[in-house]
Structures are given as C-alpha cells and as structure tokens.
Amino acid sequence: MLLKTKTNVQGEWLKKKEDIKDGDIITILNGGTESEGQHGLQYVFSLQTKNGAKNAGLNQTTLNNLISAFGEDTQTWITKEVKVWLLKIMVSGKLVDVLYLTEPTWVMAEDGSFLKLDKQAESLAQRQPQQEPKQEQIPVVEYPQEEIKAEDIPF
C-alpha cells in the first residue's frame, strides 16, 4: 500500500462577509497549491483582503474564469486584481454564500455565467440601457362606510 503525506495549507482561512464582501477588489498573492480537503482535491490560493492575507479554496467556476482572464499558468496570476462575487446559492438544502472571482471588468449574465466585458458587450449595453424594475402598483379600493346603529346588532 502506498501512502502519501497530507500537507496542510499554512495561514488563516478567508471568512466571507468578514474579510471580503461582494464587489471587493482583492489581489492574488501566490500561484496556489493543491490540498486534500474534505471533499477531495482543492486548489488553495492566498488572497490579499482588507484584513491581510487569507487562504481560500477556489471552485471550478472561479478557476475557469481566471484561466480565461489570465491564462493557464497560475504563476502569472500573482499580483492580479480580481473582483469578489458572493452569491447565495442552495447547497445541500441550505442557502450558503459561495465565492466567485473574476477579472474586475467582468459582468454577470442573466443566466448566472460571468462574461468578459468587451467592445461588443459594451455596445450592446449602450443600446439596451438597464431599466429600473417596475414596481407593481397596488390599487387602492375605497369601500363605502355604512353607519351601524346599536339597535341593528342582533345580540
């Protein structure tokens, strides 16, 4: 039987809504490491937050976003700024905050995917300005007020 040593990632782990919040711009500090987690292999990166350097395991969507933005070599990601997206998502029957990272200019599409904001997307956005959602008007109904006399009450 072959055994492998498990390596634990040194440093503090990122706390959502404490170290980062939705919309923050943070910096990638290292090229990442592979670490065996509770649910298999995970890719852990050190991120510069407002509270210092923190470790975070990045999900596959985030890795795909960063590969599209910065290339396949994670060493080239060091010192790159990224945008934080914290989204409430149903996981195992519970709503949890899930961390996604993108290049800072990227936007989220209606289907939840992340898109690079390029010239074509910019021109489309300019032609179709975002509209405020219409607030539903609740009709006001006035009912006639009848005067009820004490002698009309049957009991």
Q: Is residue 97 a contact partner of residue 17, using CB atoms and an 8 Å limit?
A: yes
Q: Is residue 72 part of a domain?
A: yes
Q: Is residue 78 part of a domain?
A: yes
Q: Is residue 121 part of a domain?
A: yes
Q: Is residue 12 part of a domain?
A: no
**What 8-state DSSP symbol labels residue 74?**
G
Instruction: List the beta bridge partners of residue 16.
Output: 20
Instruction: List the beta bridge partners of residue 124.
Output: none
**What 8-state DSSP symbol labels residue 10?**
P
Q: Which residues, 6 or more positions from 93, have their beta carbon under 8 angstroms from its beta carbon? A: none
Q: Is residue 119 part of a domain?
A: yes
Across 100-128, average pLDDT: 77
Residue-level pLDDT at 121: 55
* The total number of residues written for the chain in this structure: 155
Q: Is residue 96 part of a domain?
A: yes
pLDDT in tens, 53-107: 999 999 999 999 999 999 999 999 999 999 999 999 998 899 999 999 999 999 9
Q: Is residue 46 part of a domain?
A: yes
Q: Is residue 64 part of a domain?
A: yes
Entry pTM? 0.70
Expressed as residue numbers, the domain containing 80 is 25-127
Residue-level pLDDT at 116: 86
Number of domains in the chain: 1
